[in-house]
Chains A and B, each alone.
Chain A
Amino acid sequence: MKIDYRSGNSIKTQIPLDYKEYLKRKEDKQQQQQQQQQSTQPTGAITYKRKDRLDEQFRQIFMKTGIVTQASGSCYLEIEKTKVLCSVYGPRATPKTELFETAKLNCELKYATFSSNKEKFDYLENTKEKDQSLIIYQSIIGSLRLDKYPKTVVDVYILVLNDDGDVLVSAITAASMALADAGVEMYDMVASCSAVCIKDATLINPTAQEETLTEGAGKILVSKMPSHNNITQLIQTGELNYNNVLESVNLCIDGSDKIYSIMKQNLIDSLLRQQKKDGDGNEINGITTNAADDQMEE
């Protein structure tokens, strides 16, 4: 039984667009048509210049673990306006015995209905959410030592509160942090970075506006475990030439290394906070946290 809460409203409603934007789009379309009439070669690509930061510059990142008290581990992550919350439950025992040797990882991403002012999100899971859930799943599953927890389930839930671009990167990073916070054994945390290619420019950490600037723009997403120097996932969509791909993958790898250092610092900070709370001399459980300490010493 799935209930749509809005069945109380029988009136069809829509999100209105901005009038200025509408006029501008109309003009652009006319211009394009004129250009197409003049020359047979399409000149689709739009030049775009970032105003407030460099092309390879990241927006401000804020993250905090241990936000959700009911969860085993959680992380709240903000990349300026993009806001994501992730909580992890488990590993918990499951009555289903189909998966005998390893733990099962469930990954669920949900957009809040008010997270976007262009797209409508329903209360039921739509294909976009399903798709992105799978991407996140594939990014982090390689880093986890699920064989340590036979016959159990680990649940990862992600809620997107505000979508201003780069949701996937935020979600993957938050999920990995939350898993570390929950004390699930892992080889390394997964850091992620994405880029959009518009004409010749490669824009790291794009905003929602930059993501939707051109249809079919080349997009690159890299997730990696920096201390192993392993890439767990590499996604390329849209039209890109070979050199562009190489260049943007390299940029993304550098970007994720930077994110990784922030993640590590945050985790250590949260540990120290916890230690203070527990009182000095108390033993801290959780293997990942020790691993993070070891890495610091290295």
Chain B
Amino acid sequence: MEFVQYLVNILSLGGIYALLALGLAIVFSIVGLINFAHGELMTIAGYLIVLSLSFGLPLPVVLLVACLGAALSAVLMDRIAFRPMRSASVTTLMITSFGVSTICKVLFQNGVSARGRAVALPEWMSGTLTFGGFQIGMVPLTSIVLTALALIGLDIFLRKTTLGVAMRAASEDFVMVSLLGLRANTVIATSFAISGLLAGIAAILWISQRGSVDPLMGFTPVLKAFIAAIIGGLGSLRGAVLGGFVLGALEVGSEPFLTIGTAPYRDAIVLLAVVLLLLVKPDGLLPAVRGVRS
């Protein structure tokens, strides 16, 4: 029974990491940008949840507002901050995203509040479901279902739609995609929109586990997502998902072996495992398939 509980925890925590890592990987695979402002997209979704709950909107609408708001914010980030820097180097882009991240954090701290805000979740979310002898909390169950739906939906989009196929092509050879007459900026904007959408979903799941929103809430999960993306192989979409679940498994799986003395070192122990893994597989578990040309 305990094993099932661990599995549920791995899937629900790993799922959040997977969604975030996937968002980072999609943008990186196409634009070569490591977006450090990805966490702020989560925070934006969080504040949109607080705001729309305060208007008394029904829950599905609240969640929709959060996801679409995060997607729109991601597109705006690209339009305002990253598009003017399109031909810049990876390092310059990375520093730009640090700037965007910092500006957002300061805006939240001064414009909203530096302190956290409690999010009142609906009654049913604190309940549990009983399956043949073991109980699963509604929160992890929702996480697992939403993560699965998001991953399946994205897979269908990338395989079945022209824009999705163009995005996969762009991750191999971006210039060739525009030589075929496909609008480069549309492909890029879509990749940002999807990464924002995934960050929005991840924010909903993260907040449902935490019950509060604060200006720095995106930092920790997105840091973990970077690690997950690197475990999987930076820029590889399947790798990002796998990396998310591997990191979730490392964190949840290490818990039974931690004592009061070693528990504070959990992250260090997990990172050590990541370092060992990268020593064996320097390009990650499922390395990105990038074209030779830029």
Does A associate with B in a complex? no
Chain A interface residues toward B at CB < 8 A? none
